[in-house]
A and B are shown apart, each in its own frame.
Chain A
Amino acid sequence: MTMPLAGLWNYLQNHPTAQHIGFTYWFPLLESVHVLAVGLVVGSLLTVDLRLLGLAAVRYPASRINRELIPWTWGAFAVAALTGFGLFVTRASVYIENPAFQIKLGLLCLAGLNMAWFQFRTFRYIHGWDSSGRTPFAAKFAGGMSLVLWSGVILAGRWVGHII
């Protein structure tokens, strides 16, 4: 079976920029910045998620923890996505068939859905428990799922390099 969009993956990996990244110091450079950015994504989410679980920083309103930390998460995510794309294009058609890479993308989508559900549904009723350490089930679920899914993203991401 051939991969969908096979032409696109071929085009990407044969692009001179992709070739240049793959055969120079650019690959380890992008990869090290990717690890740094992923660290900041998960590190900034850690306090947010533990606050939603009612396990940490309970003296601060959950909405304030959210407001102060989520911009860092998004900034770091942008860097991680950009550097990740730079790594991906060097062997696009190989990575796209790598099961660890596929699982990583799936987990990323689930983490995004979990976050969207929290921001657009659960967050609306936050005033009821904002300053309390006792958080409702919906908040605990969002925080717990986020921790599990991002741990999975790290594991699958690191596994990508062991399959190629």
Chain B
Amino acid sequence: MRDFIANTLARSPLNELAVYWLGNVPGLPPIAQSCHIAGIAIMMGTIVLIDLRILGLAVRSQHIGEMIRRLMPWVWGALLVNATSGLLFVVARPYRYFYNPVVAIKFSLLALAVVLALVVHGRALREPDYWERSLGRRAVSQGIALVSLVLWIGVVLAGRWIAYSDYLFFYG
């Protein structure tokens, strides 16, 4: 399955296009990477801040349900920006990413973090006070916020380590 997708991508015209753009549009690699980092910054200022708020560590005057309603659209926007800017590099060099163990780690953490975001924020979008209605719910939301926080930090760290996976997995 992985071989099939990597091979298909490597032989597709999209691969040629991405390779051409990255090699010929002046400054495109650092510009696309900067968009990716700007997307990370938005994540830190939205979903990570919401997690810190739920844990009682930041912006305590702000209402959790209101924060979620106000900030979650930014999270999905930033995910879209990062998916686009990231795909440019994956499509250009599929083998470099598809067979890199750090990529697998990053995307496992990311998938879990997105599922948690959908659960916690989905509830609060429908019912702003959902997570504050009882002590039990509050405890659950704090547990989820802590896990979510660790996951997002892990996604960012792992993302940067993709380029250094040789350090992590020594061959000899």
Contacts and interface: CB of A to CB of B under 8 A. Distances in A.
A and B held together in a complex = yes
A105 interface: no
Nearest to B38: A154
A62 to B, nearest CB: 13
Given A25-B167, A28-B164, A36 B153 contact: yes
A39 interface: yes
Contacts of B45: 40, 42-47
Chain B interface secondary structure, helix, strand, loop or mixed? Answer: helix
A98 B55 CA distance: 42
A19 interface: no
Q: Looking at chain A, what size class is its interface with the partner chain? A: 20 to 34
B157 A32 contact: yes
B129 to A, nearest CB: 17
Nearest to A47: B45
A33 interface: yes
Interface centre among A40, A44, A57, A151 (most CB of B within 10 A): A40
Interface stretch (B7-15, B27-35, B120-128): B27-35
Interface residues of B, number: 34
A43 B48 contact: yes
Interface string B21-63: 0000001011101100110111111101100000000111110
B38 A151 contact: yes
B49 A28 contact: no
B70 A57 contact: yes
A111 interface: no
A64 interface: yes
Given A28-B160, A36-B157, A60-B61, A46 B30 contact: no
Nearest to B67: A57
B46 to A, nearest CB: 7
Interface of B: 27, 29-31, 33-34, 37-38, 40-46, 48-49, 58-62, 66, 70, 153, 156-157, 159-161, 163-164, 167-168
Interface of A: 25, 27-28, 31-33, 35-36, 38-47, 56-57, 59-60, 64, 68-69, 72, 151, 154-155, 158-159, 161-162
22 contacts: A28-B163, A28-B164, A35-B37, A35-B40, A35-B159, A36-B153, A39-B40, A39-B156, A40-B41, A42-B38, A42-B45, A43-B42, A43-B43, A43-B49, A44-B44, A45-B45, A46-B42, A64-B61, A68-B62, A159-B30, A159-B34, A162-B30
